[in-house]
Amino acid sequence: PMTRDYRRILERKDIDAVVISTPDHWHEKMSVEALEAGKDVYLEKPLAHTIEQGRRIVETVGRTGRVLQVGSQLLSSIHLHEAKEVIQEGRLGQVTQVKAWWDTGNLIGAWVKPIPPDASPATIDWEAFLGPAP
């Protein structure tokens, strides 16, 4: 379900778990509230901005008994696990150097999008985006 107010989702009894993929400054507030609402949480990295925020999240997991997983793109990929196995088994010989990169095939700056011509407080809820940001 889509909503401008995540608390509407937390109120729903027919939802068992949530995915939190918001700006980082929302992670602590949303995950703690979701856990306290009885939801399991898949939280996009990072866990939190500060150690204290992270501790509050971990404490809430312990207190509520809910499940929380911090996700990291591609770390669960079978290809990475297979590569690790090949290296650990010595099938490549002694590995002395590894170079890695991520290339989406885009030109530099391709992720930078222009501001829509109709951008205004009517179309962008900047206050909601900022939320608990310091």
**DSSP code of 29?**
H
Whole-number pLDDT of residue 61:
99
How confident is the model over 62-86, as pLDDT tens digits? 999 999 999 987 777 788 889 889 9
Higher pLDDT, 1 or 49: 49
Percentage of residues of the chain with pLDDT beyond 90: 57
Whole-number pLDDT of residue 105:
58
Are 39 and 13 in contact by the 8 Å Cβ rule? The answer is no
Class of domain 6-92+119-130: alpha beta
pLDDT at 99 over 70: yes
Delimit the domains of the chain by residue range: 6-92+119-130
